[in-house]
């Protein structure tokens, strides 16, 4: 039995929709409060519902307004107003969320858009830090840093659109994570506003042992506890002239994963470490994949380290078929998704009634191949619409000393009405993958966040530690105004 979509919830506010809008205008002025009907409909969903939204189907509650504060003080005013009147708030920045975290489940929600808070506050090349407001686009920040020979090392596929606040709020990860880490490894300090309007700053220090690491109360909170208004992240030297690119073909997925495990546990940190199953590889590398597993690796950093890493890669993958490095470079140059690719995807969905989604999980090394095989077999055997699948595959793209992630990719032809797609295809496939990851002791989500569609398993994910999450929610958000249904299931 697969879970149902999260339920819509009536507003708990003592104000009417019109009074909410009037109150926001009193706080921020007309120019910062958007009530355009088309914008409000689009703001009620994120990319989890991309198929229904492209057909103009919006079945959930439409927000009362989108507000665009220009400062931390204005964010605090909006949250204090919402908290006083028990109005649900959904924070957002770059709008690249994929797990329903930006959906508005509660009637007359305020969507708090931080995208106009877009100043790069300070670039500090001595202490290797950069401070930016929540609405700074990552691409813009990287462009400014690379002019100075620096980089954040963070490069998710959403880089052309993603903004700093959302990246931290969703515990984002980038394509070069095996070397640079996830966003949680990069954040030095930050500023956040809590539901009662309290502004908290976590100072920028290299490390401290002054109690629990309170950064992690905020990082990954998905707007369910607070609004991130400013972040400071580490910097690294940008040295692309030392990069080495590798591609290899292997016959066995388990063998490719084992070689990757050997490379990582031997102490090497290529910036990119990927293993694609044949099905997934064919959609990315059809000009050379030959229905085999494809391994992609990049060695970078200072010249000596990059060279040593490259030599270890060649040794570890000796005996496999090498791919021309130029083909790997060409693939990377076209990997990221900007608005042009999103618009093309929308046109294709309307023309072909066909689309693809992903579900990413993580697991320790000994369970990578068992998880891959269990999910492939279970989907083919149990998914009621398996005959509509046009592709089912997976890849490992972020590796650690103790394990890796598996990013399952599934494409399908839609043979039902558009409004049924989410329950007939996406939710059942998502559920199988999550359930198998948990069964084998892994995590139900590696980097996209829980959103609103993995909340049925939040308790299973955390087990006896779930109480700590509950205490955070009740302590910081006692009136329950922050992004209802995200991380925490709606009762």
CA angle 289, 358, 142 (to 5 degrees): 85
State the residue for tokens 């359930």.
Answer: 435
Q: How far is CA 218 from CA 204, 283, 450, 486, in A?
A: 15, 37, 15, 14
Question: What are the pLDDT digits (tens) for 40-86?
Answer: 999 999 999 999 999 999 999 999 999 999 999 999 999 999 999 99
Q: How far is CA 213 from CA 188, 189, 219, 488, in A?
A: 11, 11, 11, 22
For position 113, what pLDDT does the model report?
98
Distance CA 205, CA 212 (A): 14
Question: What are the pLDDT digits (tens) for 130-146?
Answer: 999 999 999 999 999 99
φ, ψ (nearest 5 deg) of residue 337: -110, 115
Confidence of residue 4 (pLDDT cuts 50, 70, 90): confident
State the residue for tokens 């120019």.
Answer: 31
Give the DSSP letter of residue 148.
T
Confidence of residue 451 (pLDDT cuts 50, 70, 90): very high
Question: What are the pLDDT digits (tens) for 229-238?
Answer: 999 999 999 9
For position 391, what pLDDT does the model report?
96
pLDDT at 287 over 80: yes
Distance CA 282, CA 263 (A): 25
CB-CB neighbours of 240 under 10 Å: 8
CB-CB neighbours of 39 under 10 Å: 14
The answer to whether 189 touches 175, Cβ cutoff 8 Å, is no
Distance CA 55, CA 393 (A): 27
Distance CA 127, CA 352 (A): 52
The answer to whether 225 touches 482, Cβ cutoff 8 Å, is yes
Phi-psi bin for 425: left (phi > 0), alpha (psi -120 to 50), beta?
Answer: alpha
What average pLDDT does the segment 215-225 reach? 97
């Amino acid at each position: 039995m697969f879970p149902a979509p999260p339920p819509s919830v009536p507003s708990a506010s003592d104000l009417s929709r019109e009074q909410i809008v009037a109150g926001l205008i009193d706080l921020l002025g007309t120019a910062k409060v958007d009530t355009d009907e088309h914008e409000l409909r689009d703001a009620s969903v994120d990319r989890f519902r991309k198929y229904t939204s492209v057909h103009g189907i919006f079945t959930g509650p439409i927000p009362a307004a989108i507000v665009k504060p220009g400062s931390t003080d204005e964010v605090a005013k909006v949250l204090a107003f919402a908290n006083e009147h028990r109005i649900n708030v959904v924070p957002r920045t770059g709008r690249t969320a994929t797990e329903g975290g930006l959906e508005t489940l509660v009637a007359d929600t305020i969507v708090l858009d931080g995208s106009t808070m877009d100043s790069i506050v300070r670039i500090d090349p001595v202490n290797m830090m950069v401070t930016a407001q929540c609405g700074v686009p990552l691409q813009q920040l990287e462009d400014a840093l690379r002019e100075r020979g620096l980089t954040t090392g963070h490069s998710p596929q959403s880089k052309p659109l993603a903004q700093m606040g959302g990246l931290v709020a969703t515990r984002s990860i980038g394509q070069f994570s095996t070397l640079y880490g996830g966003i949680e490894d990069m954040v030095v300090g930050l500023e956040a506003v809590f539901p009662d309007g309290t502004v908290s700053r976590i100072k920028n220090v290299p490390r401290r042992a002054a109690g629990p690491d309170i950064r992690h109360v905020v990082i990954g909170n998905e707007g369910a506890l607070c609004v991130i208004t400013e972040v400071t992240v580490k910097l690294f030297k940008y040295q692309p002239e030392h990069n080495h690119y590798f591609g290899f073909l292997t016959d066995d997925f388990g063998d490719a994963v084992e070689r990757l495990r050997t490379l990582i546990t031997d102490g090497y940190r290529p910036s990119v470490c990927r293993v694609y199953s044949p099905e997934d590889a064919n959609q990315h590398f059809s000009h050379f994949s030959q229905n085999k597993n494809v391994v992609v690796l990049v060695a970078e950093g200072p010249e000596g380290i990059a060279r040593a890493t490259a030599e270890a890669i060649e040794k570890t993958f000796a005996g496999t078929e090498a791919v021309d490095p130029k083909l790997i470079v060409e693939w990377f140059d076209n990997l990221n998704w900007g608005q042009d690719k999103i618009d093309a995807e929308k046109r294709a969905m309307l023309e072909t009634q066909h689309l693809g989604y992903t579900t990413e999980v993580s697991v320790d090394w000994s369970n990578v191949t068992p998880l891959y095989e269990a999910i492939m077999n279970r989907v083919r055997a149990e998914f009621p619409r398996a005959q509509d699948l046009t592709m089912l595959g997976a890849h490992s793209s972020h590796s650690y000393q103790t394990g890796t992630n598996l990013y399952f990719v599934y494409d399908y032809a839609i043979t039902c009405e558009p409004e049924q797609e989410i329950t007939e295809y996406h939710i059942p496939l998502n559920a199988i993958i999550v359930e198998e990851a948990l069964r084998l002791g892994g995590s139900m989500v590696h980097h996209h966040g829980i959103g609103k569609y993995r909340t049925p398993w939040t308790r299973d994910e955390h087990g006896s530690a779930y109480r700590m999450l509950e205490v955070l929610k009740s302590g910081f958000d006692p009136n329950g105004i922050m992004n209802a249904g995200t991380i925490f299931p709606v009762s």
